[in-house]
Structure 1
Amino acid sequence: MSEGPRRSDTADTTPAKPPMRDALVAAAFRLFPERGYEQTTVDDIVALAGVGRRSFFRYFPSKEDVVFPDHERCLADMTAFLADGTAEDEPVRRVCDAARLVLRMYAENPTFSVQRYRLTKKVPGLRAYELSVVWRYERALAEYLRGRFGGRPDGSLRADVIAAAVVAAHNNALRSWLRSAGQGDADTAVDHALGFVQAMFGDAPPGAPAAAAEEREEDVVVVISRRGTPMWRVVREIESTLGHD
């Protein structure tokens, strides 16, 4: 009787290679602490990753983009989440839930998130790039809210103010978590911050006590900016008022 096909007695334990995109990010973040961000070139990154220069630009338009490899996916997820909402959704709660998708992205890999936060603090160009990313999140939230508040007086203004407040509150809690090296419960901190926004701007549920309205008035924070001030600077002012250093 003939034997069937033989199986190897030794299992293949060779670790699978990471996808090229992940390999480029890993190479970049090995080099940045060693050489410094400014001193590290795209050629250095592709050499360590073992790929060609063309492969880098297939995934990342610039060196800055390799520092923020997950924001495009997160922005797409947020936009889809908002689009899937219904007319029954309370608008402020919906945008707060959308902001939590950003927290989830950071919490997926705390070590990487903390490393990126520390790098961004040291490099002004990366901080400016990050602010442009934050503005895109804020714009997505504001566009959703403008659609929901279109029939209200000052609906567009209300949408922009709430979107800025959501981003500022979320980032205040997120950065506190990052400053602690990813220790503690990030979800609880962000829930607390976004709860503040919901209490200030959300529609009160039926039967809510009058004290809630009084508390809102006591907790109001007003930030005054000159006409034409860039929105990212307004957000910075709100973050500073809420206690972000």
Structure 2
Amino acid sequence: MSLRDHKKANTRRALVDAALQRFYVQGFEATTLDEVCQDAGVARRTFFRYFDSKESLVFPNRAERLQRFIELLESNPADESPLISLRAIAQIFAKEYSQHRPQLLARQRLIESTPTLRAREREIDEDWEQAMEVAFHRYFQRAGPGDLAARARSRSSRVDRKRVDLRARVLAGAAIGVIRATMQFWFDHNGRPDLGELGARAIDHLEQGFMRPGEGAQVTPSESLRETRKQDQRNR
């Protein structure tokens, strides 16, 4: 890292540290950017070279973390199930998150107490879901393991979200639900459970389903659709 890059990293870290200290003491809404900049020893105009808003200070590594997730997801072998890839990636992130447990718990309490931060968190979830949609779409469209050229084209080509197939959308929606539920469970239990084990169990539930053998009526999709139409006609 060059001297200039080192200085930029220090300035960015100083802004985040100053902001979080203020947020935890006096609240997010009550804290002004002028206070944050003064505490960090940075001019207000300099702030916007590093962050686009006050909310961004609570999620400073948003873009980098998402990009890393995408790279890990798309580097999986062509014949490997997306759920196997998710399982491996979950262990990587779980280990890192567990090492920063106190900071993550404090930040989550701040997020849950601040409507604007909860809204920003939902935006981040949507970014992850859309990234998974595209990655899963490429997986489902990918050629067999022996067609290296087709696999390379699949990974490098841009994908219009409107063309993403239903399987990819369903899997991405389920996966972000698993991630959200697992993290919330971990936060609700004060970060005490093993996050890696929680993630593995959650993906097991996604992969194996939630209905026990023999539970619920065995109805084929066509039978269910016909029954729904009959009920609609009776209600008219």
Would you call these one fold, judging by a TM-score over 0.5? yes
- The one-letter amino acid of 2:117's match is L
1:83-105 C-alpha deviation (Å, 9 max, x unpaired) = 22221212222234345555455
| 2:88 is the alignment partner of 1:88 | no
Does 2:64 align with 1:64? no
Alpha-carbon distance in 2 for matches of 1:23, 1:54: 15
Amino acid aligned to 2:208:
A
Q: Which moved more, 1:92-101 or 1:63-72?
A: 92-101
Cα distance, 1:193 vs. partner?
0.6
- What is the aligned length? 188
| Aligned mate of 2:197, from 184, 188, 198 | 188
1:168 partner SS:
helix
- The separation in 2 between residues aligned to 1:37 and 1:44, in whole angstroms, is 12
The runs of 5 or more residues in structure 2 that have no matched partner are 1-8, 143-163, 217-236
- Residue 105 of structure 2 aligns with which residue? 114
Among all aligned residue pairs of Structure 1 and Structure 2, give the percentage whose two residues are the same amino acid. 30
Q: What is the Cα deviation at residue 67 of structure 1?
A: 0.4
Cα distance in 1 between the residues matched to 2:106 and 2:22: 12
Preserved contact between residue 138 and residue 167 of structure 1 (Cα < 8 Å): yes
Q: Give per-residue Cα distances to partners, 1:4-58, cap 9 Å, x unaligned.
A: xxxxxxxxxxxxxx82212111111110122211110111111111122233222
Determine which of 178, 183, 206 is the counterpart of 1:197. 206
Does 177-186 or 88-97 show the bigger shift?
A: 88-97
Say whether the 8 Å CA contact 1:28–1:45 is kept in structure 2: yes
CA displacement, residues 49-72 of structure 1 (integer Å, 9 cap, x when unaligned): 112223322221110110011221
| CA distance, structure 2, for counterparts of residue 159 and residue 102 of structure 1 | 22
**Which whole-Å CA distance do the structure 2 matches of 1:110 and 1:40 have between them?**
24
Report the Cα distance in structure 2 between the residues aligned to 1:47 and 1:137, rounded to whole angstroms: 34
Quick one: which amino acid aligns to residue 100 of structure 2? Answer: N
The reply to whether residue 156 of structure 1 matches residue 165 of structure 2 is yes
Task: Tell me how far apart the structure 2 counterparts of residues 216 and 40 of structure 1 sit (CA, whole Å).
Answer: 54
Write the distance in 1 (CA, Å) between the matches of 2:193 and 2:90. 19
Which residue pairs with 2:121 in the alignment? 130
Residues 71, 103 of structure 1: alpha-carbon distance in 2 compared, 3 angstrom cutoff? farther
How far 1:118 sits from its partner (Å)? 0.5
User: Aligned equivalents of 1:156 and 1:72: distance in 2?
Assistant: 25
Higher helix share: 2
1:175 aligns with 2:184: yes
Q: Is the 8 A contact 2:137 2:165 kept in 1?
A: yes
Amino acid paired to 1:92: L
Separation in 1, partners of 2:214, 2:66: 33
Q: What's the secondary structure of 1:38's corresponding residue? A: coil
Cα pair 2:90 2:196 within 8 Å, conserved: no
Give me the whole-angstrom Cα distance separating, in 2, the residues matched to 1:55 and 1:105. Answer: 30
- Residue 12 of structure 2 is aligned to residue 21 of structure 1: yes
Out of 109, 117, 132, the position equivalent to 1:141 is 132
Structure 1: how far apart are the matches of 2:19 and 2:36? 5
Q: Unaligned regions of 5+ residues in structure 1, if any?
A: 1-17, 202-213, 220-245
Contact preservation (8 Å) 1:93, 1:198? no
Q: Is the 8 A contact 2:178 2:202 kept in 1?
A: yes
Rounded to whole Å, the distance in 2 between the matches of 1:114 and 1:78 is 21
